[in-house]
Amino acid sequence: MIPAAFDYHAPTSLSEAVALLSKHGDTAKVLSGGQSLLPLLKLRLGQAGHLIDIGRIPGLEYIKEEGGMLRIGGRTRESALERSEVVRTRYPILLDTAQVIADPLVRNMATVGGNLAHGDPGNDHPATMLVLGAQVVATGPKAERVIPIDGFFVGLFTTALQPDEIVTEIRIPAPPARSGGAYVKFERKVGDYATAAAAAFVTLGASGLVERAGIALTNAGPKPVRSTAAEKLLTGRRPDAAALGEAARAAGQSATPSADRRGAADYKKEMAGVLALRALTKAVQRAGGR
């Protein structure tokens, strides 16, 4: 499978990259890890006149905790998340997520920024970022802007990004004490997108009640699904089996998956609930709740 012809640019600075994007408008695409974009071009399911490779711009790959935030450079590889000490010890939900994306070889190229920017409801990071309350930093011709994750996913393969904006950083608030998050994915085999997957994040109060809850689903609709109904059900409750079960069921209800080779819609919807329960249970455990 061979892509149709396109032009390729390798800017060495952000401003140059943004200028190229502005110049070529709709016909241009950012090339980051290329693990979503190139397969599409190879199958000729997508077309691009110009690829703007951000691979040569310095300073886009980092993971650091700073000012109460985890800051992840837009071009940070999934494999870097997997090997990061701060991720492993402080943000295990991110490790859960990174290590179930695609396969280890793809993860050596695929980037966190690309995973979000692609706007693919089948991608795994969106759900995790939704429950973590992340912010996406986008750099455009004018300046940098911070997009709260809740407003980032607009529809199938569409995000709040302008065509001339580049995701340069993802910011995740540092977890408060007695917090825990988990991502659990159910896939047909390694390298597959989720049949169903759920992210959960809980913060427990001193009394052991849930102070804040985040629950989101992958591949459960045209865009990543955050289940506010489930979150509401859980907030203020003791995270016992009954409460988690109710919340998980509510999460399942918020899924509107479509049928594909991974399963019929009703099955996937049920699986969303099953996975939500597993993620919640693990998150509560990690928060020290049980």
Ligand X SMILES: Cc1cc2nc3c(=O)[nH]c(=O)nc-3n(C[C@H](O)[C@H](O)[C@H](O)COP(=O)(O)OP(=O)(O)OC[C@H]3O[C@@H](n4cnc5c(N)ncnc54)[C@H](O)[C@@H]3O)c2cc1C
Q: Based on the shown chain and the rule CB under 8 A, indicate whether residue 290 belongs to the binding site for other proteins.
A: no
CB 46, min distance to other proteins, A: 13
For residue 195 the two structure tokens come to: 């049949």
* String marking each residue 45-84 x if it binds other proteins according to CB under 8 A: ------x-x-x-----------------------x-----
Strand 196-204 relative to strand 179-186: parallel, antiparallel, unpaired? antiparallel
Q: How far apart are CA 62 and CA 121, in angstroms?
A: 25
Element spanning 159, H or E: strand 158-159
Instruction: Please list every residue from 151 through 190 that binds ligand X, using CB under 6 A.
Output: 161, 166-167
Which positions ≥6 away from 216 have C-beta within 8 Å? 126, 127, 128, 130, 131, 198, 199, 224, 225, 226, 227
Using the rule CB under 8 A, which residue among 86, 105, 242, 265 binds other proteins? Answer: 105
Stretch binding ligand X (CB under 6 A), from 113-121, 141-149, 202-210, 271-279: 113-121
Chain centroid to Cα 214, Å, comes to: 14
Instruction: Please list every residue from 83 through 112 that binds ligand X, using CB under 6 A.
Output: 101-102, 106, 110-111
Report DSSP state, residue 176.
P
Using the rule CB under 8 A, which residue among 91, 152, 153, 186 binds other proteins? Answer: 186
Q: What is the CA radius of gyration of the chain?
A: 19
CB 279, min distance to other proteins, A: 12
Q: How far apart are CA 282 and CA 162, in angstroms?
A: 37
Using the rule CB under 6 A, which residue among 20, 98, 117, 234 binds ligand X? Answer: 117
Stretch binding other proteins (CB under 8 A), from 21-29, 57-65, 188-196, 210-218: 188-196
Q: Based on the shown chain and the rule CB under 6 A, indicate whether residue 114 belongs to the binding site for ligand X.
A: yes
Q: How far apart are CA 197 and CA 124, in angstroms?
A: 8
Using the rule CB under 8 A, which residue among 60, 93, 134, 271 binds other proteins? Answer: 271
Q: How far apart are CA 114 and CA 32, in angstroms?
A: 6
Tell me the sheet residues that pair with 31.
53
Q: How many CA atoms lie within 13 A of 177 on its CB side?
A: 4
Binding region for other proteins (CB under 8 A): 1-8, 10, 31, 34-35, 38-39, 41-44, 51, 53, 55, 79, 102-106, 108-109, 186, 188-192, 195, 261-264, 267, 270-271, 274, 277-278
Binding region for ligand X (CB under 6 A): 29-37, 39, 54, 74, 101-102, 106, 110-111, 113-115, 117-118, 123-125, 161, 166-167, 191, 193
